[in-house]
A and B are shown apart, each in its own frame.
Chain A
Amino acid sequence: NAGVMQNPRHLVRRRGQEARLRCSPMKGHSHVYWYRQLPEEGLKFMVYLQKENIIDESGMPKERFSAEFPKEGPSILRIQQVVRGDSAAYFCASSTEGTDTQYFGPGTRLTVL
């Protein structure tokens, strides 16, 4: 049973470009969470999704950031017009319905030049 998959593992973008981060949850998991970790800090919650539904996006910046979890395919975290401050590690986690244990992917390290 494969774990949570994230790709790419490393992503380099220039300021103003778009970044797309993908997350495939563990088999049987229908809940996906995105977290961001800035250097020397802990993980900060961004968004919580179920299939075709955003449950909680209280941690998402108001502009440039969006997330989706379509009926088919991976969850996507999209960052438009990236800025240097977006450089961070972005982790995706998944869980089964009704449980709180979230299992994390290896993360995508975004570097904005």
Chain B
Amino acid sequence: DQQVKQNSPSLSVQEGRISILNCDYTNSMFDYFLWYKKYPAEGPTFLISISSIKDKNEDGRFTVFLNKSAKHLSLHIVPSQPGDSAVYFCAASVCAGKSTFGDGTTLTVKP
């Protein structure tokens, strides 16, 4: 039973446009959500997070939206840049402790 799902394995967008990466979860106990970016042969890099008491968190070009009723979160990147091309993982946790990861979405930003 996969508790965190990223249903789109890949996404391709044009430079300057918006990238929207989606993530769904099933465990209503999750109270903290994170997005990580990963380049090949490197570890995941923390990007942005959101607590369940919020519905939006913004950091520069990155915004995460949380819809608790739909158990859905999304990461918006605008404007997208070629350097954003990477695998993006959504993760969720209950209090402090282990994170449950989705399988990732490979984003390609075309110049």
Report A's interface with B, CB cutoff 8 A: 4, 6, 31, 33, 35, 41-45, 48, 55-56, 58-59, 91, 93, 95, 97-107, 109
Contact = CB atoms under 8 A, between A and B. Distances in A.
B101 A100 contact: no
Nearest to B51: A100
B54 to A, nearest CB: 14
Interface of B: 6, 32, 34, 36, 41-46, 49, 89, 91, 93, 95-104
Contact of A104 (B44, B96, B104): B44
A33 B45 CA distance: 15
Contact of B34 (A41, A42, A101): A101
Nearest to A41: B103
Contacts of B101: 35, 42-45
Contacts of A4: 43
Given A43-B89, A100-B96, A101-B49, A107 B103 contact: no
Given A43-B101, A44-B101, A31 B96 contact: yes
B52 to A, nearest CB: 11
Most chain B CB neighbours (cut-off 10 Å) among A31, A41, A43, A107: A43
Contacts of B49: 100-101
B26 to A, nearest CB: 15
A98 B95 CA distance: 8
Contacts of A6: 43
A44 B91 CA distance: 11
